[in-house]
Amino acid sequence: MRIDMHFLGAAQNVTGSRYCLDSNGFRFLVDCGLYQEREFRKRNWDPFPVACGSVDAVLLTHAHIDHCGLLPKLVRDGYSGPIYCTSATADIVKIMLLDSAKLQEEDAAYKKRRHEREGRHGPYPELPLYTTDDAEACFPLLRPVEYRQPVEVGKGVNAVFHDAGHVFGSAMLRVSVKQKGAERILLFSGDMGRWDRPILKDPTVFEEGDYIVTESTYGDRLHEGSETIAEELAEIINSTLEAGGNVIVPSFALERAQEVLYYLNQLLMEGRIPRIRVFLDSPMAVRITDVFEQNPEFYDKEMKRLVRSGNSPFDFPGLSLVKTVDESKAINEVLEGAMIIAGSGMCTGGRIKHHLRQHISRPQSTVLFVGYQAVGTLGRQIVEGAKEVRIFGENHPVRARIDQIQGFSAHADRDDLWRWLTGLKGPPRQVFITHGEPETAHSYAGFVRDKTGWKVSVPGYKERAVLD
Ligand code: ZN
Q: How far is the CA of 192 from the centre of ligand 1 (A)?
A: 8
Average pLDDT score over the chain? 96
Q: How far is the CA of 65 from the centre of ligand 1 (A)?
A: 8
Q: How far is the CA of 89 from the centre of ligand 1 (A)?
A: 11
**For 233, phi and psi rounded to 5 degrees?**
-65, -45
List the pLDDT tens digit at each of the 468 positions of the chain.
999 999 999 999 999 999 999 999 999 999 999 999 888 999 999 999 999 999 999 999 999 999 999 999 999 999 999 999 999 999 999 999 999 999 999 988 888 888 888 887 666 668 899 999 999 999 999 999 999 999 999 999 999 999 999 999 999 999 999 999 999 999 999 999 999 999 999 999 999 999 999 999 999 999 988 999 999 999 999 999 999 999 999 999 999 999 999 999 999 999 999 999 999 999 999 999 999 999 999 999 999 999 999 999 999 999 999 999 999 999 999 999 999 999 999 998 899 999 999 999 999 999 999 998 988 899 999 999 999 999 999 999 999 999 999 999 999 999 999 999 999 999 999 999 999 999 999 999 999 999 999 999 999 999 999 999
pLDDT at residue number 126: 80
pLDDT at residue number 240: 98
DSSP 8-state secondary structure symbol assigned to residue 135 = H
Q: How far is the CA of 15 from the centre of ligand 1 (A)?
A: 9
pLDDT at residue number 93: 98
End-to-end CA distance of the chain: 5
- Residue 189, helix vs strand vs coil: coil
pLDDT at residue number 38: 83
| Amino acid identity for residue 396 in this structure | H
Q: How far is the CA of 62 from the centre of ligand 1 (A)?
A: 7
Q: What angle do CA 135, 186, 55 make, to 5 degrees?
A: 35
Domains in the chain, CATH or no CATH each = 3-221+410-467 (3.60.15.10), 226-404 (3.40.50.10890)
| Backbone dihedral region for residue 361 (phi beyond 0: left; psi -120 to 50: alpha; all else: beta) | alpha
pLDDT at residue number 450: 97
By the 10 Å C-beta count (0-12 exposed, 13-18 middle, 19+ buried), 457 is classed as middle
Q: How far is the CA of 334 from the centre of ligand 1 (A)?
A: 34
Q: How far is the CA of 33 from the centre of ligand 1 (A)?
A: 10
Q: How far is the CA of 411 from the centre of ligand 1 (A)?
A: 8
Dihedral over Cα of 228, 229, 231, 236: its sign: positive
pLDDT at residue number 120: 76
For residue 30, the cross-strand partners are 19, 59
Q: How far is the CA of 374 from the centre of ligand 1 (A)?
A: 16
Q: In what order do the strands lie in the sheet with 277-281?
A: 319-321, 277-281, 338-342, 247-250, 366-369, 401-404
Q: How far is the CA of 191 from the centre of ligand 1 (A)?
A: 5
Q: How far is the CA of 383 from the centre of ligand 1 (A)?
A: 23
pTM of the model: 0.94
Farthest-apart Cα atoms in the chain, separation: 72
Asked whether 84 and 145 are in contact (CB, 8 A), the reply is yes
Q: How far is the CA of 373 from the centre of ligand 1 (A)?
A: 16
pLDDT at residue number 423: 98
Ligand 1 ion: nearby residues, β-carbon < 5 Å: 64, 191
How far apart are the C-alpha atoms of 166 and 67, rounded to whole Å? 13
Q: How far is the CA of 446 from the centre of ligand 1 (A)?
A: 24
| Amino acid identity for residue 140 in this structure | P
Q: How far is the CA of 194 from the centre of ligand 1 (A)?
A: 12
pLDDT at residue number 113: 86
Q: How far is the CA of 170 from the centre of ligand 1 (A)?
A: 8
Q: How far is the CA of 103 from the centre of ligand 1 (A)?
A: 19
Q: How far is the CA of 24 from the centre of ligand 1 (A)?
A: 30
* Continuous segment of H or E residues that includes residue 161: strand 157-163
Q: How far is the CA of 17 from the centre of ligand 1 (A)?
A: 10
Q: How far is the CA of 371 from the centre of ligand 1 (A)?
A: 13
Q: How far is the CA of 346 from the centre of ligand 1 (A)?
A: 16
Q: How far is the CA of 399 from the centre of ligand 1 (A)?
A: 34
pLDDT at residue number 122: 64
Q: How far is the CA of 23 from the centre of ligand 1 (A)?
A: 27
